[in-house]
Amino acid sequence: MDKIIENLSMIVAVDQNYGIGYKNDLLCRIKEDLLYFKEKTMGSHIIMGENTYRSLPPKLPGRKYVVLSDVTTSAPDDILLFDNIEDVKDFVRTLDKETFVIGGGMVYKQFLDYVRKMYITEIKFSFANVDTYYPYFDKYEWEREVGEDLTEDGYDYNHVVYTKKRRSE
What structural domains does the chain harbor? 5-164 (3.40.430.10)
- In the structure, what pLDDT confidence band is assigned to residue 75 with cuts at 50, 70 and 90? confident
pTM comes to: 0.94
Q: Return the pLDDT at 1.
A: 39
d(CA 11, CA 13): 7
